[in-house]
Amino acid sequence: MVDQTRDMETAINENNCISLQSFCDMTQLYTILDNWSKSSGMATVIVDTEGNQVSEDFGITEFCEMIQSCEGGKACCMATWKSDLEGIYECPFGFWDFSIPIVLPDGQVLGKVLAGQALPVQQKDEEILQKTASLELDEKTVLEVLSRVRRKTEKEMQGAYELLKETLHFLFRTVITSGKRKMN
């Protein structure tokens, strides 16, 4: 686990909400997210309702690690994590990301899964360099890292989003349904 990681139960209990562990085997959820990251080439992380990271990063890109190593870059990323964005969106540095809320059938939100860190196929490196200029990163290093970033078409990104969204919704519907049966 990364240094930023907080125990999900502790993080959620601090906010007096229901624990995600009450409804889900976290090891299984982590396995799903890790496998999805490996197969899609995109990153995932779980954040609580306040935008605090509560799981390890699965598949974080080298570019995002570089951005988050700068105070200004990290602040931009954290602001996005704390936002109410849902669905596919563009991060401040031009990458496609998406947010999927973890919602119980009664509407209670337990947090969200953030995923993505892929560049649109048509994204120009020069545009990214303009967006990262204020972070005082070495331009040559930024270009080298960008050359290794996965690029996705809009259709590929939409498919990845839908697959992870449906997988998570199925997982939580199934777990909650079977949990109710066990309780009865």
Whole-model pTM: value is: 0.80
Q: Tens of pLDDT along the chain (184 residues)?
A: 333 333 434 433 444 445 666 667 788 889 999 999 999 989 999 988 888 888 888 998 899 999 999 998 888 888 888 888 889 999 999 999 999 998 877 778 888 999 999 999 999 999 999 989 889 899 999 999 999 999 999 999 999 999 999 998 888 776 655 554 343 4
CA distance 42 to 116: 5
What span, in angstroms and rounded, lies between the C-alpha atoms of 129 and 144?
Answer: 12
Torsion angles phi and psi, residue 126, rounded to 5: -60, -35
